[in-house]
Amino acid sequence: MHQTFSKDAPREIIKGIGITSLFFGLSFYLPFLGFILSFLLPLPIMFYRLKLGRENASFVAAGTLLIVIFFLGSFSFDFFFFSHLLILGFALGEFFEQGLSVEKTILHACAVFWASAAGVLILVSLASGIRISEMVSNLVRNNLELSLVFYEQMGAPQEQIEMLKDSLDLVQKALTRVIVGATTAGVLFTAWCNLLLARSVLSVANIKFPDFGRLNTWKAPEQLVWGVIACGFMLMLPIGGIKILSVNGLMIFMTIYFFQGIAVISYFFEKKDIPLIIRILFYSFIGLQIFLLMLVTVIGFFDMWLDLRKLDTPEKDQ
- For a pLDDT cut of 90, what percent of the chain falls above it? 48
Residue 296 has pLDDT above 80, yes or no: yes
pLDDT for residue 94: 94
Residue 28 has pLDDT above 90, yes or no: no
Pick the CATH number of 1-211 from 1.10.260, 1.10.1760, 1.10.150, 3.30.70: 1.10.1760
Looking at per-residue pLDDT, the higher value among 97 and 33 belongs to 97
Burial of 169 (0-12, 13-18, 19+ CB in 10 A): exposed
CA proximity to 226, closest of 266, 264, 189, 253: 253
Residue 150 has pLDDT above 90, yes or no: no
pLDDT for residue 270: 93
CA–CA dist 90, 159 (Å, integer): 44
pLDDT for residue 268: 94
The mean pLDDT of 47-69, rounded to a whole number, is 91
Which tens digits make up the pLDDT trace of 191-217?
A: 999 999 998 899 888 998 888 888 999
pLDDT for residue 16: 92
CA–CA dist 215, 231 (Å, integer): 27
pLDDT for residue 80: 78
64, 86 Cβ separation under 8 angstroms: yes
**Where do the H-state alpha helices sit in 73-101?**
77-97
Confidence class of residue 78 from pLDDT cuts 50, 70 and 90?
A: low
- For a pLDDT cut of 70, what percent of the chain falls above it? 92
Confidence class of residue 74 from pLDDT cuts 50, 70 and 90?
A: low
Confidence class of residue 77 from pLDDT cuts 50, 70 and 90?
A: low
Confidence class of residue 6 from pLDDT cuts 50, 70 and 90?
A: low
Confidence class of residue 32 from pLDDT cuts 50, 70 and 90?
A: low
Confidence class of residue 4 from pLDDT cuts 50, 70 and 90?
A: very low
Please list, in sequence order, all residues whose beta carbon lies within 8 angstroms of the beta carbon of residue 45, skipping any fewer than 6 positions away: 16, 20, 57, 60, 61, 64, 86, 89, 90, 93
When mean pLDDT is compared across 7-16, 67-76, 78-87, 263-272, the lowest value belongs to 67-76
pLDDT for residue 76: 63
pLDDT for residue 49: 94
> Chain-wide mean pLDDT for the chain?
87
CA–CA dist 171, 261 (Å, integer): 29
Looking at per-residue pLDDT, the higher value among 252 and 151 belongs to 252
Q: What residue spans in the chain does CATH classification 1.10.1760 cover?
A: 1-211
Which tens digits make up the pLDDT trace of 223-256?
A: 999 999 999 999 988 888 899 999 999 999 999 9
